[in-house]
Amino acid sequence: MSNFKISGSCGFSINAASTLQARYIKKEFEKKGIPFKLYVFDEKENVGKHKNVVACGRNKIKAMIGLFKRLLKDDSDVFFFVKASPYTGFPALIASFLKRKKTCVLIDDYEKAITTKRHGRLQGFVMGLIEKFVIKKSDGVICASKFLYEKFFDKKKHKNGKYELIPFGIPTERFRNAKSIRKKLGYSRKDKVLFYIGSLTKDADVDLAINALAHGLRKNKNLKLLVVGGGEALEKFKNYAKEKNVLKNVKFTNWVDFKEVPNYIFSSDICLMPMKDIEIDKGRCPMKLLEYIAAEKIIIGGDVGMVSYFLPKELLCKPGSGRALGEKIIEVLQNKDLQRLSIRNCKEWKKKHDLKNASNDYEALLNKVLSE
């Protein structure tokens, strides 16, 4: 058993994908007797009674300062932080320098591309410099996606094996008690329910799912689309579905209780991973994809990034195309072999990359970091 203490930090929500992964890994470490304290950029009422999870608040500057002060008093051997951003990166790097501790960063997003998309090229350029600096100064680097691994790998700096591609672990336990709520949702046995989940921001790929539904309905009138999630663009996507004349076939749930999400996934027939061929989508390791795998669902997605990594090519389609996604939906619905292929693929991934296996990979890398 490893003999070290670890403190981690992540933001900006207790249920955000990267925070979830940190929480899952924390739980696996604690099963092995490895102490793990987690600092989260969220409010106390959201963090609730999670053991050894500390709320730092959602105000970015105050949360950064609070995290830094806490880390200065922390007796952990390694500071593990999520995302190569200034918010979690700077407090961890400065505190580790002052206390002569080791650091390890988990990168699961291409921060430069995201900032450029949201705030423009200048801010994206600055974030890109920060991102490279944080990665360079970290003693260990865990990349959640193949794109990020190849983007930031430096043969000279990382020849000692402390830079690893470790995708998010598959949360199998989360779906052990999942049950179908199709009847409650108003679906019949003949309905073929397509599933999409995510925050409905203006950049969300819900439009691709709606387009796929519109194309698919031409050949299968029993198609329905279940969209779980809320956000600023909820009405925008409702209007888009109306423009496409498919609103009656789409159910928007808005936000649902986090604990209920497995039941919604379990109630669907096909889970969708609509993706675009852009750096943002290439850099992500979507937690929802791993949840679909954990639920052993039929999954179809755009041929991009970690979707291509986890899914067989027979279940992939041209990225950024609702039409191609719709055609693939019809193809899979008409082909039992493809349905069985998807479920078999899920079972195989669950065996070789569940949270226990992922945590073992994390532990091995952290031991390398601490061995110097």
- Structure-derived torsion over alpha carbons of residues 359, 173, 223, 329, reported in degrees to the nearest 10: 30
Output the CATH code of domain 6-169+353-371. 3.40.50.2000
- Is-contact 227 288, C-beta < 8 A? no
Nearest to 179 by CA among 267, 96, 305, 93: 267
**pLDDT on residue 49:** 80
Exposure string (b/e) for 322-346, b if CB count within 10 Å is 16 or more? bebbbbbbbebbeeeebbebbeebb
Q: Which CATH class is domain 173-352?
A: alpha beta
Chain centroid, CA 341 distance in Å: 23
**pLDDT on residue 160:** 58
Structure tokens at 58: 């959602």
Can 6-169+353-371 and 173-352 be said to share one CATH topology?
Answer: yes
φ and ψ at residue 202, rounded to 5 degrees: -65, -20
Q: What is the DSSP string of 177-234?
A: T----HHHHT--TT-EEEEEES---TT-THHHHHHHHHHHTTT-TTEEEEEEB--TTH
**pLDDT on residue 11:** 76
pLDDT in tens, the chain (372 residues): 578 899 999 877 888 888 999 999 999 999 999 999 999 999 998 888 888 899 999 899 999 999 999 999 999 999 999 999 999 999 999 999 999 999 999 999 999 999 999 899 999 999 999 999 999 999 999 999 999 999 988 765 655 568 999 999 999 999 999 999 999 999 999 999 999 999 999 889 999 999 999 999 999 999 999 999 999 999 999 999 999 999 999 999 999 998 999 999 999 999 999 999 999 999 999 999 999 999 999 999 999 999 999 999 999 999 999 999 999 999 999 999 999 999 999 999 999 999 999 999 999 999 999 987
Sign of CA dihedral 63, 68, 73, 74: positive
Domain boundaries, the chain: 6-169+353-371, 173-352
**pLDDT on residue 156:** 59
Cβ neighbourhood burial of 67 (10 Å; 0-12, 13-18, 19+): buried
Cβ neighbourhood burial of 1 (10 Å; 0-12, 13-18, 19+): exposed
**pLDDT on residue 203:** 86
**pLDDT on residue 82:** 94
Mapping DSSP to helix (H, G, I), strand (E, B) and coil, where does residue 331 land?
helix
**pLDDT on residue 153:** 82
φ and ψ at residue 25, rounded to 5 degrees: -65, -40
